[in-house]
Structure 1
Amino acid sequence: MNRKTVRRPGAAEATTVTARETARPEPFKLGRDGLVWLVFPALLVLSAMEVLLSGRDLTQSFLALQREVQSLVESTRHPLLAWVQRGVSLMLIAVCLERMVSHVVQRKPVPAPMLTWTFLFFWLTTVAAPAVFSSHPSLSHEYLYPLLLGLACSLAGPGDRERIFAVTRNALFVFLLASAALIPVMPSLVLDTSYTQGLIPGLPRFGGLATHAVGMGMLAQTALVILWARPLKHGWLNAACWGLGLGALFLAQSKTAWLCFLLSGTCLMAVRRAPDAMQRAGDPRRSSFGVGLCLLVIGAVLAALVAVLAFDLPTAITDFFDTREGAQLASLTGRDRIWVVAMEEWARQPVFGYGLTLWDAGYREAIGMPQATHAHNQMIDTLARSGTVGAVGLVLYALVLTVMAFRYARATGGLSLALYVSQALLSISEVPLILIDYGSHVMTHFLLIVAVASGAAARVQARAAPVVPIEPTLRTRTAP
């Protein structure tokens, strides 16, 4: 811990001041922090334009919708969208290269070398190796964009973090507002009125300008988590954003997004309130808090006993899984069949996998699963695409993210832990860590890298702060 020593002439003792206690976040400076923050709203703009120009109709059946969207995206892509994507790609390359070159020129230390090197290893094992050595090799310039963005994000400092999260928060709520504004204008584009698997019968499912309702739910919960950690200055605007975000999250009807938000919010509360709560619980002068906590635990145990004994909860659960909805939940809405296909591909090519073109249009048509755009599980998808080599890279990268997300939770105000929990939970049914392209579906992954790297950078800056003695100015008293 760095300390500043203040000595006063004639004083018998020295007064010490902790430098870390007096440190304040540094303001954003364009020349120093670069323009990486521009990439995140650009990803949302690209996603919104892709949906707007696709002409999709969410009232159609799911399989027909998948075929329509795939044909529109891959076969008859709108020329305007192609030019927009080229512009975003060029901007991403320029911004990320400028960030990395300026970091080297200024001779700044890498905030978290372990994070940077493991991210590079993760890309090499899950993208580069299967692109060359898998059973279906393929090379594409799109594989390089996530690499550049990830390396640039791993150099983020506290100034970068505040600017990136503030801009991303604002862009996400503009995205949600634009999606909601299209409900009376183009309802079939943003609402699925034929959805029947929700908790409330007849309630339309809100897909908005995201590629899928699950994606809309995850974007809404990410926006709410950032708003929670970094609220807006105006109270009325903050309340309006909370209403918009919670409404989008509820109408998306994604149980995964609901659970992610619940756990992420719990992590934020734990990081921000746990130290004070523990201190209050152990303070004999504040016994009411400890008594209330004990009563809450006793109440939860009694409620569980009543559910088991009075309402025969085990039998009710068994009866539920005998229903159509229960059977669908037990099979994870058909994902178990996709997992079987993916594991068979890994068994055929255990070292480097099938390749990065797995789950493309031709493969889905061959297996008769047009809805299987990925394996719906991060580990299984990595095993199928990149083999055992990719799985090793994924495990190592996930371990580093786990340790650093917990380590720098306090330094980031809980953001690193909240985003990590969200990504870890989403990895059970989706593939949020995939690095073969870029878009709104991988935005939270790169925000997590920014949060972890900036937490490490704050610690590096605190350790490198020089200890400078502060000498007081001597004042000469004039005799009356």
Structure 2
Amino acid sequence: MTFPRPVLIPGRRPPAPSAGLWTMALPLALMLASDYKLRSREVDQAVGGSADLTVLMEIGVYGAAALFLVYRFGLRSPTRKTTGLLFAAWTFAGYVALSAAWSPFKSLGLVRGTQLLITMLVAQRIASRATPADLRRLAHAFIGVVLVSVCVGVAHPFPRTKHTEDRFNWLYVHPVIAGVYLGVALLLTVGYLVRWGGPHERLWHPAAYLGALAVLGGALVATGTRGAALGCAAGLVVLLATARGTKGRVDVVVVGTAVAVLGTLAFADKIMAFVSRGESAEKLASLNSRTELWSLAMKAYAESPIFGRGLGASRGLFLEDIGLGGGHNAFVNALVDQGALGAAVLAVLLLTLAMVLLFMTRHRTLRADAGMLLGILAFFLVDGMTTEGLAAPANVSGIWLLVLVGWAETLRRQGGDPVAAGAPSAAVAAPVQVADAAQHA
């Protein structure tokens, strides 16, 4: 007896059940506890190991996140095989945390190292449990938090320091950190706005994304954070060039050229005012004393070139000489704190993440998310030229880097369109095998 071969119509896989609200709550809680402060402290107080109520609350949030993960998932090791990307992320987190053992500021180093490992645990659970829908909710919740923060900054400006009097921020969040929040939120907004072919992936009406884009863009310019603005521009180019395939690359060339020419002609004076920010040519040439700081950093690196000076060392080594804390550059910070070995581990992690996301842009159903994540990664790489957040624990840049790792692994685990991937999925292949067996019978 012969049965007709079934007609196979490629379709989407049924959505996986949500992993729970923790996929949204934990990353946001870690970011807000790390960066949102109701008081301002000098850098020397932070590296000295003194803990006030705000610091204790931050440590408490990280501790609660760790206890939740233990309560929810236990202490068992992951059941799935570790990928190269997760291995690179764990190697980075483990080595940075280990470097606290030889830091001159051991209290600071131990706390930051523990926070980094907890963040990596959250990223690991996102990688193994979350769904794309969970991370979509995380992205929109992040955008919402930043929009509310902008409203708070407009409605109730907090006291500013002499270096930030004319720059927008909220609470006691530094304008540089505020610029990172705004840049990431802006890229997430654009990433969902340009998905013309997939309205099911949007949670808001397109008009809401356009309104959010106007608010976030205006606030980013008002922060006066040039590194974040340049990083956002680079991220937008990468996002538009990858998230929509060949059509997106054409859009970048045509629209990008037109916007650049018109913007330069119409707002040349405002652009120059934003770039110069009222500073002298000498200060601009030194990148706000960063070049002097980097010279001191290279001397500190030369004293311990392989393993570095230890986690948190860059926060306090230069205070006496120049009055600045941190490396103000992600790789300079890594060289000082973790040496050549730590900088190499960070570079391997970034390259691995970039390659994984680039390969995912070849798959039709993964392209939109992968391109958006590539845009955010490009933002962090450019912004990392003037701020150390990407290589440091317990800040929005470092936390988002590990969230990107978990998000990429979630996309890889969920898979894409079987036709785009070049091989049939199990759900498609099974009926063919059954039909063939029945036909031969």
Unaligned runs of 5+ in 2: 193-201, 266-271, 436-441
Contact between 1:434 and 1:442, CA under 8 Å: does it hold in 2? yes
Contact between 2:23 and 2:135, CA under 8 Å: does it hold in 1? yes
Match of 2:312?
357
Q: TM-score, normalised by structure 2?
A: 0.76
AA in 1 matched with 2:16:
E
Unaligned runs of 5+ in 1: 1-7, 57-65, 197-203, 282-288, 308-316, 473-480
Q: How far apart, in 1, do the equivalents of 2:102 and 2:153 lie?
A: 46
AA in 1 matched with 2:212:
C
Q: How far apart, in 1, do the equivalents of 2:395 and 2:328 lie?
A: 18
CA-to-aligned-CA distance 1:29-71 (integer Å, 9 cap, x gap)? 43xxx72322222134424652x2x1x4xxxxxxxxx73x654
Q: 1:248 to 1:184 in 2, by over 3 A?
A: same
Match of 1:374?
326
Q: How far apart, in 2, do the equivalents of 1:9 and 1:115 lie?
A: 48
Q: How far apart, in 1, do the equivalents of 2:63 and 2:282 lie?
A: 47
Q: 1:245 to 1:157 in 2, by over 3 A?
A: farther
Contact between 1:264 and 1:421, CA under 8 Å: does it hold in 2? yes
Q: 1:36 to 1:103 in 2, by over 3 A?
A: farther
AA in 2 matched with 1:380:
V
Q: How far apart, in 2, do the equivalents of 1:72 and 1:394 lie?
A: 25
Are 1:266 and 2:237 matched, yes or no? yes
- Superposition deviation, residue 25 in structure 1: 4.0
Contact between 2:183 and 2:232, CA under 8 Å: does it hold in 1? yes
Q: 1:36 is matched with which residue: 11, 16, 23?
A: 23
Q: 1:10 to 1:407 in 2, by over 3 A?
A: closer
Q: 1:424 is matched with which residue: 373, 381, 404?
A: 381
Q: 2:83 is matched with which residue: 113, 135, 155?
A: 113
- Superposed counterparts of 1:51-90, under 5 Å: 52=38, 54=39, 56=40, 67=42, 71=45, 78-79=52-53, 81-90=54-63
- Superposition deviation, residue 455 in structure 1: 2.4
Contact between 1:153 and 1:450, CA under 8 Å: does it hold in 2? yes
Q: How far apart, in 1, do the equivalents of 2:391 and 2:148 lie?
A: 28
Q: How far apart, in 2, do the equivalents of 1:270 and 1:375 lie?
A: 32
Match of 1:404?
356
Match of 1:314?
none
Match of 1:125?
95
Contact between 1:136 and 1:357, CA under 8 Å: does it hold in 2? yes
Contact between 2:243 and 2:372, CA under 8 Å: does it hold in 1? no
Q: 1:360 to 1:271 in 2, by over 3 A?
A: closer
Q: Return 458-467 or 445-454, whichever deviates more.
A: 458-467
Question: How many percent of aligned residue pairs carry the same amino acid?
Answer: 17
Could you say what secondary structure the match of 2:204 adopts? coil
Q: 1:272 to 1:352 in 2, by over 3 A?
A: closer
Match of 1:414?
371
Q: 1:443 to 1:393 in 2, by over 3 A?
A: closer
Contact between 1:126 and 1:389, CA under 8 Å: does it hold in 2? no
Q: 1:273 to 1:441 in 2, by over 3 A?
A: closer
Match of 2:7?
15
Q: How far apart, in 2, do the equivalents of 1:144 and 1:71 lie?
A: 20
CA-to-aligned-CA distance 1:314-335 (integer Å, 9 cap, x gap)? xxx9xx99x9643323222110
Match of 1:199?
none
Contact between 2:36 and 2:173, CA under 8 Å: does it hold in 1? no
CA-to-aligned-CA distance 1:300-324 (integer Å, 9 cap, x gap)? 99x8xxx9xxxxxxxxx9xx99x96
Match of 1:444?
400
Q: How far apart, in 2, do the equivalents of 1:127 and 1:159 lie?
A: 25
Match of 2:225?
254
Q: 1:167 to 1:118 in 2, by over 3 A?
A: closer
Contact between 1:125 and 1:390, CA under 8 Å: does it hold in 2? yes
CA-to-aligned-CA distance 1:9-31 (integer Å, 9 cap, x gap)? 664x653444xx4325434143x
Match of 1:233?
204
- Superposed counterparts of 1:47-446, under 5 Å: 47=34, 50=37, 52=38, 54=39, 56=40, 67=42, 71=45, 78-79=52-53, 81-97=54-70, 101=74, 107=79, 109-110=80-81, 113-128=83-98, 130-132=99-101, 140-155=110-125, 156=127, 159-185=130-156, 187-189=157-159, 204-209=166-171, 211-230=173-192, 231-276=202-247, 325-361=280-316, 363-367=317-321, 369-370=322-323, 372-409=324-361, 411=366, 412-435=369-392, 437-446=393-402
Root-mean-square deviation over aligned CA pairs: 4.1
Q: TM-score, normalised by structure 1?
A: 0.70
Contact between 2:186 and 2:213, CA under 8 Å: does it hold in 1? yes
- Superposition deviation, residue 422 in structure 1: 1.3
Q: How far apart, in 1, do the equivalents of 2:77 and 2:175 lie?
A: 41
Q: How far apart, in 2, do the equivalents of 1:398 and 1:413 lie?
A: 14
AA in 1 matched with 2:329:
N
Q: How far apart, in 1, do the equivalents of 2:206 and 2:104 lie?
A: 56
AA in 2 matched with 1:366:
E
Q: How far apart, in 2, do the equivalents of 1:252 and 1:28 lie?
A: 37
AA in 1 matched with 2:173:
T
Q: How far apart, in 2, do the equivalents of 1:274 and 1:407 lie?
A: 12
Contact between 2:389 and 2:395, CA under 8 Å: does it hold in 1? no
Pick the structure with more helix per residue: 2
- Superposition deviation, residue 121 in structure 1: 1.7
The number of aligned residues is 402
For the pair shown, the structure with the greater C-alpha radius of gyration is 1
Q: How far apart, in 1, do the equivalents of 2:402 and 2:256 lie?
A: 38
Q: 1:456 is matched with which residue: 401, 405, 412?
A: 412
Q: How far apart, in 2, do the equivalents of 1:103 and 1:460 lie?
A: 29
Q: 1:425 to 1:96 in 2, by over 3 A?
A: farther
Q: Return 340-349 or 118-127, whichever deviates more.
A: 118-127
- Superposition deviation, residue 421 in structure 1: 0.6
Q: 1:329 to 1:141 in 2, by over 3 A?
A: closer
Contact between 2:308 and 2:339, CA under 8 Å: does it hold in 1? yes
AA in 2 matched with 1:420:
L
- Superposition deviation, residue 233 in structure 1: 2.0
Contact between 2:243 and 2:370, CA under 8 Å: does it hold in 1? yes
CA-to-aligned-CA distance 1:108-156 (integer Å, 9 cap, x gap)? x24x61011111222333331x333567767624412322322441452
Q: 1:102 to 1:455 in 2, by over 3 A?
A: farther
Contact between 1:136 and 1:354, CA under 8 Å: does it hold in 2? no
